[in-house]
Amino acid sequence: MPILSVTSKKPVLLALLSAGVFAASVAHADSDPLPKLSESTISSDTSLSSQNKDESNAANINGSSSMGKDSKLSDSDQDLMQEITQANLTEIGNAQLALDKSDDAEVKRFAQQMLNDHTAAQADLTKLAQDKGGIKLPTQPNVKQKMAHDDLSAMSGKDFDKAYMKRAGVKDHKKVHASLEQAEKKAEDKDLQAYISDTKETVADHLRMAKDMSNDTGVRSGNSGAASSMDTGAGSVDNKVDDASASGDKR
């Protein structure tokens, strides 16, 4: 028998090995065939994947857009919120002063109403500021409002009662109401507009209460040099309202 060299054996060995591997592959395929996906299934899966991705992207875009709209107010709207805050704080401070200094039951009743309503109004405004991105609001009235408060605090007895009802009761609520009417027209944010509209009605109720008490006690509502509760450029409007009211109050 001829002796095969190592070199001559390689083709034979490779052929045998290849035949064995092929046979094993065929046997495995027959015994455990892989599941096949139809072209329609592949197309459907691809379409669903693409659709889900598009919906996810749209949700992210819409969510970020909505967040952006709710997290910022215009500079003008933020200024209005600051001015309204100072008006509320002024009414709250003056009401607390009246509850401490006055001996008149009706004045105290009015002051308690002012304290309750303006505290609630400021709580609503503070929540709105938080909802709109954490807008910072003042924590105290402006300089002019502080001076008026200090002027009231120096009074006592009937002088205090008359000054409080004339200034904080009638004068300031007239000015605030006129200012809120302008603010409602200027406000750009719908939520802020709704807040101003509700607050304006509350202030109108306060003004009617103060006028009724002034008429009953003889306190007149003419110009008294009282400081404005809300400085929004409404002075000329307020003066016209004061003049009309003063003429109507004459007996």
Q: How far apart are CA 123 and CA 146, in angstroms?
A: 21
The pair of structure tokens assigned to 133 is 């991105």
CA-based R_g, the chain, Å: 40
Q: What is the pLDDT of residue 216?
A: 56
Contacts of 162 by beta carbon, 8 Å cutoff, 6+ apart: 217, 219
* Average pLDDT, integer, range 4-22: 47
For residue 106, pLDDT over 60 is answered with yes
Least confident among 27-31, 102-106, 144-148: 27-31
* DSSP code, position 140: S
Asked if residues 76 and 188 have their Cβ atoms less than 8 Å apart, the reply is: yes
Q: How far apart are CA 53 and CA 230, in angstroms?
A: 52
Residue that wins the pLDDT comparison between 168 and 58: 168
Q: What is the pLDDT of residue 215?
A: 67
State if pTM tops 0.75.
Answer: no
- Which segment, 17-26, 55-64, 70-79, 156-165, is predicted with the most confidence on average? 156-165
Least confident among 37-46, 48-57, 110-119, 222-231: 222-231
C-alpha 228, offset from chain centre: 25
- Angle, helices 235-249 vs 190-217, to 10°: value is 30
Asked if residues 145 and 122 have their Cβ atoms less than 8 Å apart, the reply is: no
Q: What is the pLDDT of residue 161?
A: 95
Q: What is the pLDDT of residue 72?
A: 75
Torsion angle of C-alpha atoms 140, 145, 151, 155, degrees rounded to 10: -70
* Average pLDDT, integer, range 39-60: 44
CA atoms within 13 A on the CB side of 104: 18
Burial class (CB in 10 A: 0-12, 13-18, 19+), 161: buried
Q: What is the pLDDT of residue 213?
A: 87
Q: What is the pLDDT of residue 81?
A: 97
Residue that wins the pLDDT comparison between 244 and 157: 157
Asked if residues 177 and 201 have their Cβ atoms less than 8 Å apart, the reply is: no
- The DSSP result for 53-90, as a single string, is HHHHHHHHHHHHHHHHHHS---HHHHHHHHHHHHHHHH
Give the residue ranges of DSSP H helices in 71-156: 75-101, 105-131, 143-153
Q: How far apart are CA 237 and CA 45, in angstroms?
A: 69
For residue 110, pLDDT over 80 is answered with yes
The pair of structure tokens assigned to 82 is 């600051």
